[in-house]
């Protein structure tokens, strides 16, 4: 038995067809690294501009006000009297102060003139009308009983 080698047909320009996917892959890697570099620079700029009193959102979604900035850590007040210490890289973005003002104006709420009226407005709670019925106990779903 003899094996005969038959030459394969050449498509012509074989070097270009092999080089094109390589060029595309290198281009994609360069583009992705450039995008990541921009994101890292934006994060570094955000962390650099942190000052006490700045309102921020962390990468985990917590909202707080910057109390103190160290070399590696940021101390946030997440609630009145509740302070947490985070790594600077955990700060996701800064909430601008002027973002709160248009929201109040759009809602149409105006602040009362004096402080007493302001506290009364905050302390009032809207209670829906129940028609005089008061529900003392929470209703539980019926339980299954076997016969």
- Sign of dihedral through CA atoms 132, 138, 141, 146? negative
pTM metric for this prediction: 0.46
What's the pLDDT tens digit per position in 71-88? Answer: 889 999 999 989 999 998
Q: How confident is the model at residue 3 (pLDDT cuts 50, 70, 90)?
A: confident
Phi and psi dihedrals of 131, rounded to 5? 75, 25
CA 143/CA 94 separation, integer angstroms: 51
What's the pLDDT tens digit per position in 19-57? Answer: 888 899 999 999 999 999 998 898 888 888 888 998 999
Domains detected in the chain: 18-107 (2.30.30.30)
């Amino acid at each position: 038995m003899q094996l005969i080698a038959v030459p394969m047909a050449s498509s012509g320009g074989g070097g270009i067809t092999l080089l094109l996917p390589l060029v595309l892959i290198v281009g994609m890697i360069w583009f992705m690294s450039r995008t990541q570099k921009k994101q890292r620079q934006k994060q570094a700029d955000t962390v650099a501009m942190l000052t006490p009193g700045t309102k921020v959102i962390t990468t985990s979604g917590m909202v707080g006000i910057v109390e103190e900035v160290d070399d590696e850590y940021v101390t946030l007040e997440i609630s009145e009297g509740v302070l947490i210490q985070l790594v600077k890289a955990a700060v996701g973005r800064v909430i601008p102060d002027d973002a709160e003002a248009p929201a109040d104006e759009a809602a149409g709420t105006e602040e009362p003139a004096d402080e007493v009226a302001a506290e009364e407005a905050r302390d009032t709670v809207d209670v829906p009308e129940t028609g005089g019925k008061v529900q003392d106990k929470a209703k539980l779903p019926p339980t299954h009983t076997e016969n």
